[in-house]
Chain A
């Protein structure tokens, strides 16, 4: 049992090279071995469930740090890490099974399996690690794997480009991968800096030690005004970049250039949640500082998390309303939902009354989202394969041909909207409730607004994909590549290997939805007992008295869903509303559409400031700085040394008498010096 958490992350890491070691003639069966390593990881994750009621650190090998302190590779088992490890291990297993069919015949398959399996190992390491250093190693492994997988089609053939359609610009996979790497690395560097600052004050990387000694090191830090805030901002850059939150969100839509299972696993279900996990992981420390040690600066942590989360939720949701690439719609919605999770965690820290509700529903939402978003992505993969196009406007499926896919995708979509009684409803509702409980009404209003935005874009997307075939004659959406979609006019159901994983996920969505309140109660029991163990509940028990608040949020949330769903239904499913005529009629709507289509012009802004300014400085740098340095270093220095050298070589005459003169002169000089020194 003690070994289970270790094997859990070691197994996929070993698995990543297993297919290289097996003989080539085994063909694709080798990848089944890779999958089996992931399967073992899942079993091991299940075994750790036995520890779920306690907090337990299992120490491993020790390393000395340069200053003599010790650092160990250890595993921290608490409800948070166990729940997430199970989620990750389970989802990754299903997605690997799906990829076995999906990746058949794709280029670079060995590389794909290597990165996927290594990614799973890294992700489990970052979840299970008990200190920042090993957490960070896992964090970088997943980042690098993500880079490798986004740029999977690095040869950049035309068919793998994303973006567009004409006349809008396209992006190539290799550039998308690089962008993801740069943006996340920017955050990682800031995170590392803040970890080091914390280390300087606390002298430890271990989470539990950091928590228990929080009063001393946080106290020290808060004596320097502003330092704690700077540390918090630097720290949050890491999770925000990883989880694609504003202002680091621009990489995620373009990360969709990778194969679809990659998008499902890394850019929807697991890696982007690592940021949420990190915030949840250090949550007790900052909570303790805010409400028990009474350091007011520590409150900024929760403020930033809540506001950025809420804003990103709205920002990304609004962009999804106009996107026409299927995977991009899903990517925007991922950012939006992660924004909700951040909001939940932030709201939990803003008031002791919202602590349990906010934290539980944040993590609960994470679990739910992992399940239904993975299902959505896997469905999307099937649709993209079948239609041969990445645009929803090119897809023309009917619910009759792909009955099961249609059904599963609708289930997952409704869960994403938050329709009761599906899983998303319970957790989203909890987040909204925690906003009210913590008294953040502005956040509440923006979050409820986002609910209707979500409902609009999901129904729009589904309507365009599945319900256009009903009367295609008067449909105003022109096909962008009609010849492609004609080839794929009649589609059958997907292969069972691909169908079963997302079927399972859809069924789980329903199941969690049905037992939603109980499951949430169970999670909240787990976390509150954990917090009680940490001594965070002393402040006063969170009140459950305001039942009317719960009903109020449910009512508001359903009303907002309907508010968003109604126009979407009219326009995209019933075809009673012609969106193009609306756009043509009201110029303001046109500008609004353009503003959203260009992603609020943020991408353009970042490009101008960071990419183009650097490119513009190329010429002057080469001419003035590099040129003069080149002249000084590569011409000046050697010339100087060759002059010196020529002078020095004159000393070496090779004439014996001259050499003897040197000796005599040193003699005289030394005697003079010695005598002077000695006499003086």
Chain B
């Protein structure tokens, strides 16, 4: 009904609790993680072999959608495998996987949607699943509080999107993207601006653009680590996708105006994302802030509006999913062993968990943008794109911010390598193999896409071409 990958995900999401009910009888509830992982693997395979463009009723699937969906499903698969071990001590495990699958289904639905309304439905599906997942460990106060904050702010955003959509519908009588583009590409009146403000504010809350970012550090650090990886790595980026998609179709007529505003906001977003975590000692909070910074980089790419800029932004979305996913999963591994997020308490953990620490450092280096890792490639393209679009000041901002960001990333690496000071660290050992496996895969991807980025760049370019209708 909604194209093959989404249907598969929905079927797995519905059958997981049923299976889980059976498995709970035999005290093997975490086995339904394997079931969910199989489902995600099938979906990844389906997306890889998908023929585009595909128009099936509600869905309009193009290169861009496939590109984004691939990032979602790869990271989702990794997070799912990781959770098998990570979540085994929790209650209501079948529910967790069901929600995870629903969230991924929502995200893929967003990027496959051919009209604004189905986009909104899937958007809400993703949001609601993510609220619940943030608050999944409901016995503690912190996740519940964070999720509540997230819920209120994000709902306000959803309401604002819906209101903007209603304005657009009132003007055009349709919500299909392609038709909207044809109707609105030459129209520019006051109501378009109002609709644009409402929709972008709504999307901006989800993608944590300054000053709408305040929910993100709380929610991302309170969630279980595999969910943090998903939230930071892909859920937030769905907002960026939506800005691109809606911005380049519905609001194509007022393109220049919103581009400038996004460019300016991107600089603020970067600055906030990089300056706030400088003295942060909570490792997951630090990574959450760094996500805000990376959102800033992506927005900078989007705001150039050129083919190179969009390619770079999409590439950075993909690379960021891998890098940040890997970093969050590593911090989760340390959390799993030490039960702390404080940097001071994990001093010297690199000596006891060498593989985790090595992969963590690799992903942090990649986040800094060190060659030859994948973060370098996309940052380089971003800077080149800004120069090409005569916005070198934006490129300079990216470079300066990357330099500032090195301070707190390196501080994290330093914490991993310090002399061991606590007994807890002394007794720690390397994490379980089933949690290490997804980390190793992500680390390999970081290196591979750093050394041979050509294929991925081509893919991102074809996705960017869809936006510019080139």
B215 and A659 within 8 A (CB): yes
A315 to B275: give the CA distance in the assembly, Å: 65
In the complex, how many residue pairs between chain A and chain B have their CB atoms under 8 Å apart? 85
Q: Could you say which of A646, A651, A678 has the most chain B C-beta atoms within 10 Å of its C-beta?
A: A678
- Neighbour of B190 across the interface among A645, A660, A666, A679, CB < 8 A: A679
Q: Verify if B214 is at the interface (C-beta below 8 Å from A).
A: yes
Q: Which residues of A contact B212 (CB under 8 A)?
A: 662-663, 666
Are the C-beta atoms of A641 and B278 separated by less than 8 Å?
yes
Q: What per-residue 1/0 map shows which CB atoms of B143-160 lie under 8 Å from chain A? A: 000001100110011001
- CB <8 Å contact, B194 and A674: yes
B193 is an interface residue with CB less than 8 A from chain A: yes
B257 and A674: CB pair below 8 A? yes
- What is the CA–CA distance of A476 and B296 in the complex, to the nearest angstrom? 87
**Could you tell me the distance in whole angstroms from the C-beta of B323 to the nearest C-beta in chain A?**
23
List chain A residues, Cβ under 8 A from B1: none
Q: What is the 8 Å Cβ interface bit string for chain B, positions 249-260, against chain A (1 contact, 0 not)?
A: 000001001100
Interface: A654 (CB within 8 A):
yes
| Pick from A645, A653, A663, A678: contact of B201, CB under 8 Å | A663
B51 to chain A, nearest CB (A): 37
Residue pairs across A and B with Cβ atoms less than 8 A apart, 20 shown, are: A641-B275, A641-B407, A644-B278, A645-B279, A653-B214, A654-B149, A656-B149, A659-B149, A659-B153, A659-B214, A662-B211, A663-B156, A663-B157, A666-B201, A667-B201, A670-B197, A671-B194, A671-B197, A674-B194, A678-B190
User: Cβ of B94: which chain A residues have Cβ within 8 Å of it?
Assistant: none
B390 at the interface (CB under 8 A from A): no
| B181-225 with Cβ < 8 A to chain A | 188-190, 192-194, 196-197, 200-201, 204-205, 211-212, 214-215, 217-218
Q: Is the interface of A mostly helix, strand, loop or mixed?
A: helix
Residues of chain B in range 46-78 having any CB-CB distance to chain A below 8 Å? none
Determine the distance from Cα of A223 to Cα of B374 in the docked complex, in whole angstroms: 47
Size band of the interface chain B makes with A: 35 or more
Residues of B within 8 Å of A659, CB to CB, are: 149, 153, 214-215
Residues on A with C-beta less than 8 A from B149 are: 654, 656, 659
A652 at the interface (CB under 8 A from B): yes
Q: What residues on A are CB-neighbors of B148 within 8 Å?
A: 656
Is A648 on the interface with B (CB-CB < 8 A)? Answer: yes
Q: A673: CB under 8 A from chain B?
A: yes
B261 at the A/B interface (Cβ < 8 Å)?
A: yes
Kindly state the separation between the CA atoms of A646 and B280 in the bound complex, as whole angstroms: 11
Residues of chain B lying within 8 A (CB to CB) of residue A588: none
Residues of A whose CB lies within 8 Å of any CB of B are 641-642, 644-646, 648-649, 651-654, 656, 658-660, 662-663, 665-667, 670-671, 673-675, 677-679
User: Does any Cβ of A come within 8 Å of B126's Cβ?
Assistant: no
Residues of B within 8 A of A658 (CB): 214
Judge if B127 is at the interface, Cβ distance under 8 Å. Answer: no
A326 to B377 alpha-carbon distance, docked (Å) = 60
Contacts of B418 in A (CB 8 A): none
Bound-state CA distance A671–B205 (Å) is 16
In the assembled complex, how far is the CB of residue B212 from the closest CB belonging to chain A, in whole angstroms? 6
Binding site for A on B (CB under 8 A): 148-149, 152-153, 156-157, 160, 188-190, 192-194, 196-197, 200-201, 204-205, 211-212, 214-215, 217-218, 254, 257-258, 261, 272, 275-276, 278-279, 404, 407
Contact of A670 among B190, B254, B261, B407 (CB under 8 A): B261
Contact across chains for A670 and B201 when beta carbons are under 8 A apart: yes
The docked-state distance in angstroms from the alpha carbon of A635 to that of B302 is 37
Q: Which residue on B lies nearest to A662, using beta carbons? A: B211
Known: A646-B279, A670-B197. 16 other contacts (CB 8 A): A641-B275, A641-B404, A641-B407, A642-B278, A644-B275, A651-B276, A652-B214, A656-B152, A656-B153, A660-B152, A666-B212, A667-B201, A674-B194, A674-B197, A677-B257, A678-B192
Taking a contact as CB atoms under 8 Å apart, the answer to whether A667 and B275 are in contact is: no
* Complexed CA–CA distance, A670 and B254 (Å): 14
Contact B197 A651 (CB under 8 A): no
Q: Give Cα A675–Cα B196 distance, bound, in whole angstroms.
A: 11
Name the distance in Å between A679's Cβ and chain B's nearest Cβ: 7
User: Which residue of chain A lies nearest to B215 when distances are taken between CB atoms in the complex?
Assistant: A659
User: Counting chain B CB atoms within 10 Å of each CB, which of A662, A674, A677 scores highest?
Assistant: A674
Known: A642-B278, A645-B279. A651 touches B211 (CB 8 A): yes
Chain A residues whose C-beta falls within 8 Å of the C-beta of B254 in the assembled complex: 678
Q: Give me the 3 closest cross-chain CB pairs, A-B, nearest first.
A: A674-B193, A662-B211, A659-B214
Q: Are A678 and B193 in contact (CB under 8 A)?
A: yes
Decide if A663 touches B276 in the complex (CB within 8 Å).
no
Q: Considering the complex, give the chain B residue whose CB is closest to the CB of A647.
A: B275
Docked-complex contact A663 and B205, CB < 8 angstroms:
yes
Chain A neighbourhood of B157, CB < 8 A: 663
Q: Which of B218, B254, B276 has the most CB atoms of chain A within a 10 A radius of its CB? A: B276
With CB as the reference atom, state the residue of chain A lying closest to B275.
A648
From residue A660, how far is it (CB to closest CB) to chain B in Å?
Answer: 7
Chain A contacts for B407, CB-based, 8 A? 641
- Among A641, A651, A677, the residue within 8 A (CB) of B272 is A651
- Distance (Å) between the CB of B352 and the closest chain A CB? 30
In the bound complex, residues from chain B placing their C-beta under 8 Å from that of A651 are 211, 214, 272, 276
Residues of A close to B278: CB separation below 8 A: 641-642, 644-645
Complexed CA–CA distance, A644 and B404 (Å)? 12
Q: Which residues of A contact B190 (CB under 8 A)?
A: 675, 678-679
CA distance A641 to B196 in the complex (A): 36
Chain B: minimal CB distance from A673 (Å): 7
If A654-B218, A670-B197 touch, whether A649 touches B205 (CB-CB below 8 Å) is no
Q: Which of B156, B189, B261, B279 contacts A673 (CB 8 A)?
A: B261
Partner of A652, one of B193, B201, B217: B217
In the complex, which of the residues A642, A652, A660, A665 contacts B156, with contact meaning CB atoms closer than 8 Å?
A660
Complex Cα gap A652–B275 (Å): 12
**Bound Cα distance A651, B201 (Å):** 19
Contacts of B197 in A (CB 8 A): 667, 670-671, 674
